[in-house]
């Protein structure tokens, strides 16, 4: 196990390095620079500013500098936010995004599992069709459309929750979290339904029944854990979906999260923030995927985590 | 001997998209305390369905009891609620399945799987249940049971897994053990071990066994009595010797003739021609008539009743009717009958050994 983890961590660093490199060069390939929009500056002034930030150097040199700083944990300073450090900017914005993402994921997966279980246990009844309907809605309606509906009915018409902004504490997070939860909810319910139906028809379930287990015990003690594997597989991509999904949701609800800052930075060519945020998202995803792999081994003892051949 | 289970006129159908499949069409048998009854027959003859019906393990949504009773200690199992049935399953009647590779839960330690029925049906603590589980594993011949109880099914071989399945089935000392082809998925050397184990355990805990198989060699080894099933019905039932050495139904003749033996000189193994009947549209008369060389005209029109051959032996074939013409069974069968006192071809002296 320890060997496996060491190995995985090594690969995680390589992945991270490749992503950083690719993002850096892709960004440099775009036209414009953080200061090119400041048209009030004269060419001489521009040259001075470029020299100050090292933007006049050849791109490989800039790359080497950036990577050296990155290795020391320094993500550089922002161009648009008065030279604030990118690390501080991201940490400042992290709270709301993490709260929304986590709430959305937990809510969506929990309700999704519940719906999927009900659908599988009451196959071809009104329960099953109802759950399918919810899943289809969740998959086919984009989260931003759903968000606007929530805003209109729950905030504007019924005034239960704030329309947007991050001023009223936790209550502000409810609507965006629900909007984010719809995707994972739909995915989880479909995966659990299909897998539960398959598992419930397997031999070991018949054996469990022949021991005198009740329907509840059969479903939750025997079937559920075996039906989880496919869902766990898509949890990684689901988490990714939530992160990218939150870009749009944070815009709609005017929430000061990472996503909202990310979009702004792209518009103003703020290199260091784009790099910083991308790298942060990547690191997050890489860790989530690693955790998913570890989770496999916990759920299913047949999936051994080993170091492989020496 | 005391009857522990009685199946009377059992009829059961499956509702499918194609229509009603009459999988069991009037099955009668009983099981006595401590005996082993083998149910033999080809795939689709209804042997598995009959036992799953006794356990009530068939999907409720698509299967339906049309008629008949399953009396267990005087209680009709077909009439019990799910709750009442759950108290019987695993405690009074338990089951061993065909494929040990798929019949254990892959994500649960085998200890927990063996302990489950004990904790469910007996008022014992977890520690005591674990002790019972270790004893059971030792009983079924698992080395180092204390250590292995913490392992998962994938860490065991096929034969070992079947031993575990047997341990689960025996956990509450059931009165009836249903073994649904328990050795079919195992290789031959392991088969013999598992059969020996089952015979041993039966003596130890004095349980009755219903043994489903299509392997007649296994039947000869384990059974006291044999029921031959065909097309959703029992066509012949009797003691092992009666079925093996004095068979009456043409289907039993076919089954026995298609069993390879060391003393038949023929180079070619006999195969019953044709295919089993479609139980969506079951035939009117004897279901085997169309595949039988010995079918009479009446076989196509009316299903034969049971004719008694002896107190323990009866067969559903018109050939036993007093008006039926005398037919000569296949040569291999005649050879068998020569060894059986009471058969019409018996050659030895009365009371001789066979």
pLDDT in tens, B55-77: 998 888 888 898 899 999 888 99
Cα of A213 to nearest chain B Cα, Å: 7
Is the model more confident about A37 or about A11?
A11
Q: Is the per-residue pLDDT at A73 higher than 50?
A: yes
Query: How many Cβ pairs within 8 Å bridge chains A and B?
Result: 71
How far, in Å, CA of A292 to CA of A232, rounded? 6
Q: How confident is the model at residue A39 (pLDDT cuts 50, 70, 90)?
A: low
Per-residue model confidence as pLDDT tens digits over A175-190: 888 888 888 889 899 9
Q: Flag whether A209 is in a domain.
A: yes
Facing B90 at nearest CB: one of A202, A212, A215: A212
- Burial classification of residue A214, based on how many CB atoms lie within 10 Å of its CB (0-12 exposed, 13-18 middle, 19 or more buried): middle
Handedness of CA A137, A139, A141, A142 (dihedral sign): positive
Per DSSP, what are the bridge partners of residue B20? B15
Q: Flag whether A3 is in a domain.
A: no
Q: Flag whether A276 is in a domain.
A: yes
Facing B117 at nearest CB: one of A206, A211, A301: A211
Task: Residue A258: give the domain boundaries.
Answer: 86-299
Per-residue model confidence as pLDDT tens digits over A49-64: 777 777 777 888 888 8
Q: Flag whether A194 is in a domain.
A: yes
Q: Flag whether A19 is in a domain.
A: no
Q: Is the per-residue pLDDT at B350 higher than 70?
A: no
Q: Is the per-residue pLDDT at A137 higher than 70?
A: yes
Facing B97 at nearest CB: one of A207, A300, A301: A207
Q: How confident is the model at residue B287 (pLDDT cuts 50, 70, 90)?
A: confident
Is the model more confident about A208 or about A174?
A208
Choice among A283-292, B158-167, B175-184 with the minimum mean pLDDT? A283-292
Residues from chain B that touch A299, judged by Cβ atoms under 8 A, are 107
Q: Flag whether A101 is in a domain.
A: yes
Judge: A207–B104 Cβ closer than 8 Å, yes or no.
Answer: yes
How far, in Å, CA of A203 to CA of A149, rounded? 46
Q: Is the per-residue pLDDT at A307 higher than 60?
A: no
Per DSSP, what are the bridge partners of residue B236? B228, B315
Q: Flag whether A116 is in a domain.
A: yes
SS (H, E, C) chain B: CCEEEEEEEEEEEEEECCEEEEEEEEEEEEEECCCEEEEECCCCCCHHHHHHHHHCCCCCCCEEEEEEEEEECCEEHHHCCHHHHHHHECCCEEEECCCCCCCCCCCCCHHHHHHHHHHHHCCCCHHHHHHHHHHHHHHCCCCCHHHHCCCCHHHCCHHHHHHHHHHHHHCCCCCEEEEECCCCCCCHHHHHHHHHHHHHHHHHHCCEEEEEECCHHHHHHHCCEEEEEECCEEEEEEEHHHHHHCCCCHHHHHHHHCCCCCCCCCCCCCCCCCCCCCCCCCCCCCCCHHHCCCCCHHHHCCCCCCEECCCCCEECCHHHCCCCCCCCCCHHHHHHHCCCCCCCCCCCCCCCCC
Per-residue model confidence as pLDDT tens digits over A231-290: 888 887 787 767 666 778 888 888 788 877 887 788 777 778 888 888 888 888 888 888
Residues from chain B that touch A213, judged by Cβ atoms under 8 A, are 86, 90, 116, 120
Delimiting residues of CATH 3.40.50.300 domain(s) in chain B: 1-92+175-354
Judge: A212–B108 Cβ closer than 8 Å, yes or no.
Answer: no
Q: Is the per-residue pLDDT at B235 higher than 60?
A: yes
Judge: B90–A211 Cβ closer than 8 Å, yes or no.
Answer: yes
Average pLDDT in chain A = 82
Q: List residues of chain B with CB under 8 Å from any CB of chain A.
A: 55, 57, 82, 86-91, 94-95, 97, 99, 102-108, 116-117, 120-121, 152, 154, 165, 168-169, 171
Judge: A206–B97 Cβ closer than 8 Å, yes or no.
Answer: yes
How many domains, chain A? 1
The fold of the B1-92+175-354 domain, in CATH, is Rossmann fold (3.40.50)
HSE-CB at B243 with a 13 A cutoff on CA atoms is 29
- The confidence score (pLDDT) of residue B37 equals 94
Q: Flag whether A74 is in a domain.
A: no
- Among chain B residues, the shortest Cα distance to A211 is held by B90
ipTM of the complex: 0.84
- Among chain B residues, the shortest Cα distance to A122 is held by B61
* CATH number of the domain bearing residue A181: 1.10.3720.10
Facing B107 at nearest CB: one of A210, A212, A301: A301
């Amino acid at each position: 196990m320890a060997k496996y983890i060491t190995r995985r961590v090594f690969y995680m660093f390589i992945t991270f390095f490749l992503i950083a490199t690719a993002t850096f060069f892709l960004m440099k390939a775009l036209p414009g620079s953080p200061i090119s929009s400041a048209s009030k500056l004269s060419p001489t002034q521009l040259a001075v500013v470029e020299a100050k930030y090292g933007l006049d150097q050849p791109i490989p040199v800039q790359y080497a500098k950036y990577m050296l700083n990155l290795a020391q944990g320094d993500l550089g300073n922002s161009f648009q936010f008065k030279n604030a450090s990118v690390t501080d900017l991201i940490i400042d914005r992290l709270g709301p995004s993490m709260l929304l993402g986590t709430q959305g994921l937990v809510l969506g997966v929990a309700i999704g599992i519940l719906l999927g279980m009900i659908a599988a246990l009451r196959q071809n009844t009104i329960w099953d069709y109802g759950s399918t309907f919810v899943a289809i809605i969740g998959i086919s309606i984009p989260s931003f459309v759903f968000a606007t509906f929530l805003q209109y009915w729950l905030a504007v018409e019924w005034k239960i929750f704030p329309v947007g902004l991050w001023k009223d504490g936790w209550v502000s997070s409810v609507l965006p979290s629900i909007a984010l939860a719809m995707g994972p909810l739909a995915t989880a319910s479909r995966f659990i339904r299909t897998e539960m139906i398959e598992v419930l028809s397997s031999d070991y379930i018949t054996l469990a029944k022949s021991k005198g287990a009740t329907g509840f015990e059969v479903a939750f003690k025997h079937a559920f854990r075996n039906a989880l594997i496919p869902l766990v597989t898509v949890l990684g991509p689901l988490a990714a979906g939530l992160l990218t999904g939150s870009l749009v949701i944070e815009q709609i609800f005017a929430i000061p999260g990472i996503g909202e800052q990310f979009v702004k930075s792209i518009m103003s060519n703020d290199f260091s923030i784009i790099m910083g945020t991308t790298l942060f998202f990547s690191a997050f995803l890489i860790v989530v995927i690693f955790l998913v792999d570890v989770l496999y081994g916990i759920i299913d003892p047949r999936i051994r985590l080993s170091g492989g051949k020496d | 001997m005391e009857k522990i289970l009685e199946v009377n006129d059992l009829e059961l159908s499956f509702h499918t998209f194609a229509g009603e499949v009459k999988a069991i069409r009037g099955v009668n048998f009983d099981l006595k305390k401590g005996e082993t009854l083998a149910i033999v027959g080809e795939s689709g003859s209804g042997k598995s369905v009959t036992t799953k019906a006794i356990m009530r393990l068939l999907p409720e949504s698509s299967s339906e009891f049309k008629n008949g009773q399953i009396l267990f200690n005087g209680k009709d199992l077909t009439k019990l609620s799910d709750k009442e049935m759950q108290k019987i399953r695993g405690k009074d009647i338990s089951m061993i399945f065909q494929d040990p590779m798929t019949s254990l839960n892959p994500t649960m330690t085998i200890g927990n799987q063996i302990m489950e029925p004990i904790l469910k049906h007996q008022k014992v603590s977890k520690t005591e249940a674990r002790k019972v589980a270790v004893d059971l594993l030792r009983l079924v011949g698992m080395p180092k049971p204390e250590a292995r109880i913490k392992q998962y099914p994938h860490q065991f071989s096929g034969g070992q897994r079947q031993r575990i399945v047997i341990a689960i089935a025996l956990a509450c000392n059931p009165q009836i053990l249903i073994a649904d082809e328990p050795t079919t998925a195992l290789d031959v050397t392991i088969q013999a071990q598992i059969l020996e184990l089952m015979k041993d355990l039966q003596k130890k805990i004095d349980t009755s066994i219903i043994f489903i198989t299509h392997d007649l060699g296994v039947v000869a080894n384990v059974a006291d009595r044999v029921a031959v099933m065909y097309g959703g019905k029992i066509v012949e039932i009797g003691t092992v010797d009666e079925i093996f050495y004095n068979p009456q139904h043409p289907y039993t003749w076919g089954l026995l003739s298609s069993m390879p033996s060391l003393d038949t000189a023929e180079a070619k193994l006999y195969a019953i021609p044709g295919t089993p009947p479609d139980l969506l549209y079951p035939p009117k008369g004897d279901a085997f008539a169309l595949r039988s060389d010995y079918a009479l005209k009446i076989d196509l029109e009316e299903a034969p009743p049971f004719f008694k051959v002896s107190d323990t032996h009866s067969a559903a074939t018109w050939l036993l009717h007093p008006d039926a013409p005398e037919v000569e069974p296949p040569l291999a069968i005649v050879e068998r009958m020569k060894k059986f006192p009471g058969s019409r071809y018996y050659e030895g002296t009365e009371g001789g050994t066979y």
